[in-house]
Amino acid sequence: MTKIGVGILGFGTVGAGVAHGLLANRDILRERTGLDIELRKIADLDISTDRGVALPPGVLTADAMRVIHDPTVQVVVELIGGTGVAKTFVCEALTAGKPVVTANKKLLAEYGAEIFALAASHNTDIYFGASVGGGIPVIRSLRDGLVGTKIETVYGILNGTCNYILTAMEQEGAPFDAVLKKAQELGFAEANPTLDVDGFDTLHKAAILAALAFGFSPDIHTLPCRGIRGTVEAQDILRAREMGYRVKLLAIIKNTPDGLELRVEPALVPAASMLGSVSGVFNAAMVKSDMDDWTLFYGRGAGRLPTAATVVGDIAEVARSLAAGTCRAVTMPKASAPVALKPLGDAVSSNYVRLSLKDAPGSLAATTSVFSKHGVSIRSAVQHGAADGFASVVLLTHDVRRADMLQALEEIRTLPCAGGEPVCLSIEEPGQ
Amino acid sequence: MTKIGVGILGFGTVGAGVAHGLLANRDILRERTGLDIELRKIADLDISTDRGVALPPGVLTADAMRVIHDPTVQVVVELIGGTGVAKTFVCEALTAGKPVVTANKKLLAEYGAEIFALAASHNTDIYFGASVGGGIPVIRSLRDGLVGTKIETVYGILNGTCNYILTAMEQEGAPFDAVLKKAQELGFAEANPTLDVDGFDTLHKAAILAALAFGFSPDIHTLPCRGIRGTVEAQDILRAREMGYRVKLLAIIKNTPDGLELRVEPALVPAASMLGSVSGVFNAAMVKSDMDDWTLFYGRGAGRLPTAATVVGDIAEVARSLAAGTCRAVTMPKASAPVALKPLGDAVSSNYVRLSLKDAPGSLAATTSVFSKHGVSIRSAVQHGAADGFASVVLLTHDVRRADMLQALEEIRTLPCAGGEPVCLSIEEPGQ
């Protein structure tokens, strides 16, 4: 039986999960691939902490270069994360002609073009199935199953921390800060939660999905990105629920005749829909293509073993290619024509709007006349109880250009009847 | 650019969809695979009917053998269906060393072992991604993404006709016969609906999933299989909904310490769960493995373009392998030890039970004493209005062996207080 040697860089949470998977499921990998996939080396600066995985002697080392250049290591698995040494090691392995498996979304979102070119120039491969969606096969599906289709829309709930917080805010009616604090205590949120709650993690993942679907590398620093901090209040989540919606932090990718929409923002989705049913730390990606109707992939977007399962799946695929003496060179597709991004102001959607208006005659009339002037058409309006002389009014709009919507709200802020800041969230209805 | 020639056998619904996909998306396939995948030949007995796809001249022929042995055809796509000539042609192509892509679940469920052995002996491949779940990547996920995991449980809603009927029965409160008739008029059910409504189509698919997950070929003729005809009444669907459940026709595959459970039957799932949210003609498969937590794949399980999308994905994968000068030989895994099927009577689940009991003192006491005798523990009971002297009593049980459950019901049928036939459906709660 052909033996394929694996070297892992980074013995943290996911690294330990992959080591566990390769050791515990070596038998099932043999049955299914006909190959003996052997864990040969693991490099980590810390070689003393117990990670709960019993390694064979001689496997653990503090020297990553020794792992990369070990002649019995044929596949290099990068699980260090970030764009520092991880980038150095990935480039070193690819330059040595060794295929790399990684779960490093930040590295790919920021340096993807460079790294894919390096892999191609050394006739080797980089696999990154776990970089988006952890245990969910969304990358594999875009790359393989949907390879012959033109992608039209992708919605992603891609950050477990945000989805946990939004779910808890709905279930407990609690404010963001309190729920975040609890999530931090439970280990569902980092001490510095910026990457998650301000949307950047989701944006990194959205960039990778867009690259796979449309064959280009977006500059993530120019993409619209709103997280769930300072944008979503518990009362909006409860109002949304009353109207049959849930609030989710969405990666939104839409191919339209006048350009590609690519952004991250909190939005309302129908509560009874598949996307609306994704709760807690679970993630999902929903894809519509010209041939397939809506498909959805759901599961744990993070975590030691789910992420490791996907990494091991990538390792098995690389091993099959190596055993067949080939490099499949499945790197990023390249669009034949430049991909134009659509300005955010041109995005069209219906919207949830919450206004605080003076509880006095004429307030609503003044407001709706501004909406009307900017072409914002209201499909429903509910006034909720007044407090301190201000009433909370929740409106749902019909489809409207984002720029028109924002101009209308800007003008409403200056009306004499206006109270606090207006809240506006788009409504996305992917159908079944 | 390397050119890969494709020949299609069968120009029906899916065949026409695949032809459309290969022609319309040849550009995107070039971008993503670096290969020029060319539709060379299509064989069908009927070469005159317009299928709405404009074919290049000379592509359509009535002679399947000419397609298989055309030296410019490197991939043979079988979309005839059934186990007659389809089997002959698949074997002919494999024997000629040409990889085959098929969506033929019946062929694989009945002759899988023979066909996979034939492919292996000629060092070529058979791809069957569209045989289960149409546009849903469940086969690909079991084969690739989850390859390094031990599968524990698979739940499948794999028949769009049944799910459409069950959804309509719930939404309209209408009886099975009326909904079936309407489904037939709308083209969602065949004139002879046996294969769908009696569960056999789901069983074929379950057998393929079990083969992929556990490396053995079950004899489908010996597997427990109940459909939705004569087993589920509208009142049970409505009672289930009142208690927070939906009724779905499930493929159930569970690996337990005392053997593999493999069956098809209608069962209750939580209405608010992902599985419970799958409505209408949509399908889903939910998988739990030792490493990945629950994952779910959802989409259209049938239909011209969704099924074709998966077939084209398989064609692209074969083309990549051919271009790399290799055969990946990803056939069925083989279990290293025999797989034991668990007798149905040993399956353990909680249950929904509806009894018709004489509306008289002592009826419920007599019944519950029988349950108690057989170790059936009741977790809730609701008595509904009586008619003609009989009351409808709905019970939910705690976990119980199927054999004990059925013995209790058998005994209750003979009680003097018993009215019509008891109804019993298992409850499956896959968690998130």
- The per-residue DSSP string of B368-386 comes to HHHHHHTTPPEEEEEEEEE
Question: Residue B334 has what pLDDT?
Answer: 78
Place of tokens 């569209």: B130
| Model confidence at B135: pLDDT above 70 | yes
Q: Do A137 and B295 touch (CB under 8 A)?
A: yes
Percent of chain B with pLDDT over 90: 81
| Model confidence at B326: pLDDT above 80 | no
**Looking at residues A392-403, what average pLDDT do you find?**
97
Residues A196-247: tens digit of each pLDDT: 999 999 999 999 999 999 988 889 999 999 999 999 999 999 999 999 999 9
| Model confidence at B329: pLDDT above 70 | no
The span from the CA of A333 to the CA of A214, in Å, is 8
Could you tell me which residue, B197 or A303, shows the higher pLDDT? B197
Residue A224 phi/psi, 5° resolution? -60, 130
Catalytic residue among B41, B98, B205, B254: B205
**CB nearest A280 (choices: B33, B34, B432):** B432
Q: Do A147 and B330 touch (CB under 8 A)?
A: no
Question: Residue A285 has what pLDDT?
Answer: 96
Question: Residue A90 has what pLDDT?
Answer: 98
Active site residues of A: 205
The span from the CA of B362 to the CA of B364, in Å, is 6
Taking CB atoms and an 8 Å cutoff, what residues of chain B touch A305?
Answer: 290-293
Taking CB atoms and an 8 Å cutoff, what residues of chain B touch A301?
Answer: none
| Model confidence at A135: pLDDT above 80 | yes
The span from the CA of B205 to the CA of B155, in Å, is 11
Q: How far is B380 from chain A (nearest CA, A)?
A: 26
B362 touches chain A (CB under 8 A): no
Query: Residue B26 gets which letter from DSSP?
Result: H
Taking CB atoms and an 8 Å cutoff, what residues of chain A touch B290?
Answer: 24-25, 305
Q: Do A140 and B136 touch (CB under 8 A)?
A: no
Q: Do B325 and A320 touch (CB under 8 A)?
A: no
| Model confidence at B217: pLDDT above 90 | no
Taking CB atoms and an 8 Å cutoff, what residues of chain B touch A302?
Answer: none
Rg (CA), chain B: 24
| Model confidence at B336: pLDDT above 70 | yes
**Looking at residues B365-376, what average pLDDT do you find?**
96
B313 touches chain A (CB under 8 A): yes
Q: Do B336 and A432 touch (CB under 8 A)?
A: no
A272 touches chain B (CB under 8 A): yes
CA of B332: which chain A residue's CA is closest? Answer: A32
Residues 157-216 of B with CB under 8 A from A: 215
The span from the CA of B10 to the CA of B17, in Å, is 11
Name, in order, each residue with C-beta under 8 angstroms of A294's C-beta and a sequence gap of 6 or more: A286, A287, A288, A430, A431, A432, B299, B300
Amino acid type, A137: P
Q: Do B274 and A298 touch (CB under 8 A)?
A: yes
Q: What was the ipTM of the complex prediction?
A: 0.90
Question: Residue A191 has what pLDDT?
Answer: 92
Amino acid type, B367: T
Beta carbon pairs, A and B, within 8 Å: 224
- Average pLDDT score over chain A: 93
* Consecutive H or E run containing B258: none
Residues A337-376: tens digit of each pLDDT: 889 999 999 999 999 999 999 999 899 999 999 999 999 9
Q: What is the pLDDT confidence band of residue B113, given thresholds at 50, 70 and 90?
A: confident
| Model confidence at B42: pLDDT above 70 | yes
Amino acid type, B180: L
Q: How far is B261 from chain A (nearest CA, A)?
A: 19
Percent of chain B with pLDDT over 70: 98
Residues A290-337: tens digit of each pLDDT: 998 899 999 998 888 999 999 999 999 999 889 887 765 555 777 778
Taking CB atoms and an 8 Å cutoff, what residues of chain B touch A272?
Answer: 277
Q: What is the pLDDT confidence band of residue A60, given thresholds at 50, 70 and 90?
A: very high
**CB nearest A21 (choices: B291, B293, B294):** B291
CA of B130: which chain A residue's CA is closest? Answer: A145
What is the SS3 assignment for chain A? CCEEEEEEECCCHHHHHHHHHHHHCHHHHHHHHCCEEEEEEEECCCCCCCCCCCCCCCCEECCHHHHHHCCCCCEEEECCCCCCHHHHHHHHHHHCCCCEEECCHHHHHHHHHHHHHHHHHCCCCEECCCCCCCCCCHHHHHHHHCCCCCEEEEEEECCHHHHHHHHHHHHHCCCHHHHHHHHHHHCCCCCCCHHHHCCHHHHHHHHHHHHHHHCCCCCHHHCCECCCCCCCCHHHHHHHHHCCEEEEEEEEEEEECCEEEEEEEEEEEECCCCHHHCCCCEEEEEEEECCCCCEEEEEECCCHHHHHHHHHHHHHHHHHHHHCCCCCCCCCCCCCCCCCECCHHHCEEEEEEEEEEECCCCHHHHHHHHHHHCCCCEEEEEEEEEECCEEEEEEEECCEEHHHHHHHHHHHHCCCCECCCCEEEEECCCCC
Q: Closest by alpha carbon to A314, among A76, A95, A52?
A: A76
The span from the CA of A356 to the CA of A73, in Å, is 63
Residues 78-97 of B with CB under 8 A from A: none
Q: Do B293 and A299 touch (CB under 8 A)?
A: yes
Residues A71-128: tens digit of each pLDDT: 999 999 999 999 999 999 999 999 999 999 999 999 998 998 899 999 989 989 999 9
B338 touches chain A (CB under 8 A): no
Name, in order, each residue with C-beta under 8 angstroms of B278's C-beta and a sequence gap of 6 or more: A274, B157, B163, B248, B284, B298
Q: How far is B130 from chain A (nearest CA, A)?
A: 10
**CB nearest B28 (choices: A150, A295, A297):** A150
The span from the CA of A304 to the CA of A79, in Å, is 11
Would you call B336 exposed, middle or buried from its count of C-beta atoms within 10 A (0-12, 13-18, 19+)?
exposed
Question: Residue A328 has what pLDDT?
Answer: 56
Place of tokens 């619209």: A224
Question: Residue B324 has what pLDDT?
Answer: 81
Residues B229-279: tens digit of each pLDDT: 999 999 999 999 999 999 999 999 999 999 999 999 999 999 989 999 999
Q: Do A135 and B33 touch (CB under 8 A)?
A: no
**Looking at residues B339-363, what average pLDDT do you find?**
95
**CB nearest B305 (choices: A291, A298, A329):** A291
Taking CB atoms and an 8 Å cutoff, what residues of chain A touch B279?
Answer: 432
Q: Do A290 and B24 touch (CB under 8 A)?
A: yes
B31 touches chain A (CB under 8 A): yes
Q: Do B328 and A308 touch (CB under 8 A)?
A: no
A27 touches chain B (CB under 8 A): yes
**CB nearest A305 (choices: B291, B303, B333):** B291
The span from the CA of A409 to the CA of B344, in Å, is 63
- Collapsing DSSP states into helix, strand and coil, what is residue B267? strand
**Looking at residues A146-165, what average pLDDT do you find?**
95
Taking CB atoms and an 8 Å cutoff, what residues of chain A touch B119?
Answer: none
- Average pLDDT score over chain B: 93
B280 touches chain A (CB under 8 A): yes
Q: CA angle, B174 as apex, B247 and B389 as ends, to 5°?
A: 90
**CB nearest B299 (choices: A17, A282, A296):** A296
Question: Residue A431 has what pLDDT?
Answer: 66
Place of tokens 């599968």: B151
Least confident stretch, A295-299, B13-17, B120-124: B120-124
**Looking at residues B60-86, what average pLDDT do you find?**
97
| Model confidence at A195: pLDDT above 60 | yes
| Model confidence at A141: pLDDT above 70 | yes
Residue A5 · residue A73 · CB < 8 Å? yes
**CB nearest A27 (choices: B273, B315, B336):** B336
Q: Do B279 and A432 touch (CB under 8 A)?
A: yes
- Regarding beta strands B378-387 and B390-397, do their DSSP bridges make them parallel or antiparallel, or are they unpaired? antiparallel
Q: Model pTM greater than 0.95?
A: no
| Model confidence at B431: pLDDT above 70 | no
Q: CA angle, A199 as apex, A195 and A202 as ends, to 5°?
A: 95
A310 touches chain B (CB under 8 A): yes
Residue A260 · residue A243 · CB < 8 Å? no
Q: Do A298 and B298 touch (CB under 8 A)?
A: yes
Residue B232 · residue B266 · CB < 8 Å? yes
Q: Closest by alpha carbon to A228, among A261, A206, A196?
A: A196
Amino acid type, A65: M
As given in the structure block, the two tokens for residue B285 are 């498969």
| Alpha-helix runs per DSSP H in B160-246 | 160-172, 176-186, 194-197, 200-214, 234-242
